[in-house]
Structure 1
């Protein structure tokens, strides 16, 4: 996980509070990616519901 974060230019969190903020930020980024790229694509929607 440290390698992925360092490649993205994000430092490893120093304490639990920073880890919670980082986790929330990353979850919003993943959610936004899924919303924009998966839900909006008709092929993915057809695959998911058929």
Structure 2
């Protein structure tokens, strides 16, 4: 997990509180990616609703 975070320019959080904040941040990033790349793509929408 440290290798993934270091590639993203993030450090492993020292406390659980900071780990939760990092988890929320990463989930927002993944959600934004899905929103912009999956929902906006007509091919994915056609596949999902057909």
**TM norm structure 2:** 0.93
What is the CA-CA distance between 1:47 and the residue it aligns to?
1.4
Residue segments in structure 1 that go unaligned for 5+ positions in a row: none
Q: 4+ runs of 1 displaced by more than 3 Å? A: none
Describe the SS at the equivalent of 1:21: helix
> Deviation at 1:48?
1.7
- Give the equivalent residue in structure 2 for 1:37: 37
Per-residue Cα deviation, 1:24-50 (whole angstroms, up to 9, x for no partner): 000000000000010010001111222
What is the Cα-based RMSD across aligned positions, in Å?
Answer: 0.7
Between the two proteins, the alignment pairs up a number of residues equal to 50
Structure 2 unpaired stretches of 5+? none
- TM-score normalised over the length of structure 1: 0.93
